[in-house]
Amino acid sequence: MDAADLARKPPLIRAARVRRPHGVHGAVRVESLGGDASRFHRGLQLTPEAARPLRGGAREPLPARLTVRSARDLGDGDLLLGFDGIDTPEAAALLRGAYLCVPAEQARPLRAGEWFVWELVGLVAVDREGVEIGRVSDVESGAAHDVLVLDTPSGERRFPMVAAFVAEVSPERGRLVLTPWEEDAGAV
């Protein structure tokens, strides 16, 4: 990791996203954002980060830190988490849509071919001939795969993060190589 990577590395990494309250004891159903579900264990400290504000503007402030009281893998990529001090469905409902984060130094190790979003945002996307297509502005989570969002001269574009489109990812070189959509041949 070089100095540029360290400058871009956020202090917190998103580990899960709260889907909804579950049951009468304040548990929540969460979507794990990668890695083994066993990393969510009793005593784990998580920092909630609010998603977008709810309709109508303001939302109740979230606790500064949550301590996992209980964790259960549901087997479908989701988990049930209970937190100390969150004991009612109403209290759990305040967490709906929030991201649950860990300090960057506690982030899970990545396998080959995996990157954190912060490593991808800002990369220049080029085609196989090296012609610039745009710059990665976001990575959206999808049901089957993630989607790269690019800012291009012709507007915002999306590319599936699959081998058919993404030929190379090189955060250390500040770029990734994409194969444009077939209908884009010569147009990007």
Read out DSSP for 79-118?
A: EEEEETTB-SHHHHHTTTT-EEEEEGGGPPPPPTT---HH
Q: Rounded to two decimals, what is the model's pTM?
A: 0.68
- Which CATH architecture does the domain made up of 117-184 adopt? Roll (2.30)
The segment(s) of the chain belonging to CATH 2.40.30.60 are 10-106
Q: What is the pLDDT of residue 180?
A: 81
Task: Label the pairing between strands 175-178 and 124-126.
Answer: parallel
Q: What is the CATH number of domain 10-106?
A: 2.40.30.60
* Successive 10-residue mean pLDDT values, the chain, 188 residues: 55 90 96 84 91 57 90 90 96 92 85 86 94 92 84 92 91 91 57
Euclidean distance between CA atoms 164 and 179, whole angstroms? 7
The segment(s) of the chain belonging to CATH 2.30.30.240 are 117-184
